[in-house]
Amino acid sequence: MSITINGEILDKALIDQEQTMLRQRYGEHMSPDELTAHEAQIASDAKENAIERLLLAQEARKAIPSITAVEIDREFANLIKQYGNPEMAANMPEAEAIKLKAGIAESIRLDKFFKQICKDVPSPTDEECRAYYEEHREEFKSQEMIHASHILRQPSQGQDFGLFQADMMNIREQAAKDADFARLARQFSSCNDNGGDLGWFPRGTMVESFEKTVFGLEPGQVSDIFQTEFGFHIAKVHEKRESAPIAFEQVKKDIRKAIHDQRKNDRIGIEVDKIRESAQIVETAENS
């Protein structure tokens, strides 16, 4: 399928790029099977997004006819700096550099065009930000955090597993009797950095099989011996911080930006719909 928009062929790479981004975004909330089931929808959405991107690029070229070489070179230098490789520019083939700078010019032009479209989009008032906060209170909570240490061991090759279990039970008994956990970790653990201290961490940081046990412990409590994909553990929880509401003043700035950004996205969406009404979009089968 070939797509022509106002006489300009839509680069298939643009559709592929949109499809990759959508897969990544959906993959954060879907299982692999669900993602596969949504492939047709993802492909359709990617095509529509790519069409809209080209329509906006075409309008931006009309609204912002030229970008200065100084602007392009500045962004090019920032890009090289971002990747931390000063030799990248010197070693880049000329054709590749020209293509990259053309893409940079298009990006600068679009950014300026969006600013034109959104120049009169109002920033939300404090009252609107407060109303959003009250309506979405569940989103503004600190994460549950835990401070824990662990001892990790694996039976050595050929070791009698019964003897290994007996050793682990002996270590666990010492830890439960208020022995110095850090000393036991340094002496027995295969992961003994900082005396086995893992510091503070929220849910989702460690493997699920580890978190399932440690988040079920109370401060000062030592776990039973449990297994994860890394081996056999004994864990001790030192402190816990429960999830708690975050004050409005701490998140007001983020809320204001989120609402303002959404308003600007809505304005751009309205502009795209208007542009699309008069656009000539032709889809042609490859074999026609």
The whole-number pLDDT of residue 97 equals: 83
**Minimum mean pLDDT among 88-102, 254-268, 274-288: which range?**
88-102
CATH assignment of the domain containing 196:
3.10.50.40
Residue with tokens 């270590």: 171
Confidence of residue 84 (pLDDT cuts 50, 70, 90): low
Domain-embedded: residue 247:
no
Indicate if 85 and 155 belong to the same structural domain.
Answer: no
139 domain residue, yes or no: no
The least confident of 29-33, 125-129, 228-232 is 29-33
Split into its structural domains, the chain has a count of 2
169 and 102 housed in the same domain:
no
230 and 276 assigned to the same domain? no
The pLDDT tens digits of the residues spanning 265-282 come to 999 999 999 999 999 999
Same domain, 115 and 150: no
129 lies in a domain?
A: no
* Together in a domain, 227 and 265: no
Q: What confidence score (pLDDT) does residue 179 get?
A: 79
pLDDT in tens, 101-124: 898 999 999 999 999 999 999 999
Indicate whether 10 and 110 sit together in one domain. yes
The fraction of the chain above a pLDDT of 90, given in percent, is 78
Residues 8 and 114 in one domain: yes
**What is the phi-psi region of residue 231: left when phi exceeds 0, alpha when psi lies from -120 to 50, beta otherwise?**
left
Do 182 and 69 share a structural domain? no
Q: Is 40 in the same domain as 88? A: yes
> Sorting pLDDT into bands at 50, 70 and 90, what band is 86?
low
pLDDT at position 288 over 60: no
Are residues 210 and 261 both part of a single domain? Answer: no
| CATH code, domain with 118 | 1.10.4030.10
Q: Which domain holds residue 180?
A: 145-241
